[in-house]
């Protein structure tokens, strides 16, 4: 299995990683407040959209370059590793100056010119699965980046489209061990987009860890009801604290099980 290293942070190793932050960067004070809170609760990475691909052209589209400035400021203050989405080739060079990780959103999984260009950079990439993509299509899309020389790729499951209306998408946790086995790349799970429901993010996060996810990405906001995007799937601070308590406990359990298995293997090899 490969790992992706961003400074001192390793994704794909024994330590599970929490990525948290707002769906959209709405302003400087909002982002700093969220960054400080998620850092205090143990998150290692800060997510935040400066450019937002929205279904409706009338919805908030993001702050653009100014949002990137706020993201960099939040990173400088908190030490959090940052990830933000790149939508267009024209934005790439600017975004690379302000963020640690490039996110390829679900809508751009099939944007092959963008994938090839990102593949020519050395920036770590978090690539989301399209809500219409098979696992094979997802893996082939990732190879557009890998083939150009950038091996710092993380695959992100964020839900696939279904006929069911109880959730926004169906979070396909069965793909986690399959992706890890077939690609050897770190796998991230996004239960916020994967469900569209803040009330089930905690159990789906825990399920993702048990399925083998290397990192989980969730949306957090001080007042989700007033969020400019995706409020229904966003955790308020108190719920994020609850999540992190259970996240840390389960991570400790998983590490203990791994240690026990490693010791068992060593004893078997020595006998």
Q: What are 161-170's pLDDT values in tens digits?
A: 999 999 999 9
Q: How many CA atoms lie within 13 A of 22 on its CB side?
A: 33
Residues 185-199 pLDDT 10s: 999 999 999 999 999
Compute the distance between CA of residue 168 and CA of residue 163 in angstroms, rounded to an integer. 10
Return the beta strands (E) in the chain as ranges.
4-6, 9-11, 17-21, 45-47, 81-85, 101-104, 125-128, 153-157, 187-189, 215-219
- C-beta separation of 129 from 99 below 8 A: no
The least confident of 34-43, 200-209, 223-232 is: 223-232
Element (H, E) at 29: helix 28-40
* CB 218 within 8 Å of CB 20: yes
Domains of the chain, each with CATH number or no CATH: 4-270 (3.20.20.70)
Per DSSP bridges, beta strands 125-128 and 17-21 are: unpaired
pLDDT of residue 59: 56
> What is the mean predicted confidence (pLDDT) over 229-254?
96
Q: Per residue in 11-42, pLDDT tens?
A: 999 999 999 999 999 999 999 999 999 999 99
Q: Give the angle 226-232-237 at the CA atoms, nearest 5°.
A: 65
Sole residue written with tokens 């929490």:
18
Supply the pLDDT for residue 56: 61
Q: What are the helix (H) ranges across 41-124?
A: 65-78, 89-98, 112-119
Q: In whole angstroms, what is the distance from residue 176 CA to residue 101 CA?
A: 21
Residue 54 has pLDDT above 90, yes or no: no
With 90 as the cut, is the pLDDT of residue 178 above it?
A: yes
Q: Is the pLDDT of residue 1 over 90?
A: no
CB 169 within 8 A of CB 159: yes
Q: Is 239 exposed, middle or buried (0-12, 13-18, 19+ CB in 10 A)?
A: middle
Taking CA atoms, 82 is separated from 100, 102, 149, in Å, by 5, 9, 22
CB-CB contact of 43 with 67 (8 Å)? no
Averaged pLDDT score across all residues of the chain: 95
Separation CA 79–CA 92 (nearest Å):
23
Q: Please, what's the b/e burial string for 170-182 (b: 16 or more CB within 10 A of its CB; e: otherwise)?
A: bbbbebbeebbee
pLDDT tier for residue 157 given thresholds of 50, 70 and 90: very high
Quote the pLDDT of residue 85. 96
Span 220-230, average pLDDT: 91
Burial of 69 (0-12, 13-18, 19+ CB in 10 A): middle
């Amino acid at each position: 299995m490969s790992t992706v290293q961003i400074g001192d942070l390793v994704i794909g190793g024994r330590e599970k990683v929490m990525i948290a932050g707002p769906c959209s960067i709405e302003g400087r004070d909002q982002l700093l407040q969220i960054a400080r809170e998620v850092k205090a609760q143990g998150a290692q990475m800060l997510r935040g959209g400066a450019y937002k691909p929205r279904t409706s052209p009338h919805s908030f589209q993001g702050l653009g370059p100014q949002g990137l400035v706020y993201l960099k400021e939040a990173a400088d203050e908190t030490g959090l590793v940052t990830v933000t989405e790149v939508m267009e080739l024209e934005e790439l060079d600017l975004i690379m100056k302000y963020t640690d990780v490039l996110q390829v959103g679900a809508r751009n999984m099939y944007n092959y010119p963008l994938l090839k260009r990102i593949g020519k950079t050395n920036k770590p990439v978090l690539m989301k699965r399209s809500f219409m993509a098979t696992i094979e299509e997802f893996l082939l899309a990732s190879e557009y980046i890998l083939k150009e020389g950038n091996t710092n790729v993380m695959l992100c499951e964020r839900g696939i489209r279904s006929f069911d209306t109880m959730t926004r998408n169906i979070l396909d946790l069965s793909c986690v061990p399959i992706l890890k086995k077939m690609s050897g790349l770190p796998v991230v799970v996004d239960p916020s987009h994967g469900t569209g429901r803040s009330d089930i993010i905690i159990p789906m996060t825990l399920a993702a860890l048990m399925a083998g996810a290397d990192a989980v990405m969730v949306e957090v906001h001080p007042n989700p009801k007033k969020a400019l995007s995706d409020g229904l799937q966003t955790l308020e601070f108190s719920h994020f604290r609850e999540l992190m308590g259970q996240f840390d406990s389960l991570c400790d359990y998983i590490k203990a099980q791994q240690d026990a298995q490693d010791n068992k293997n060593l004893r078997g090899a020595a006998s």
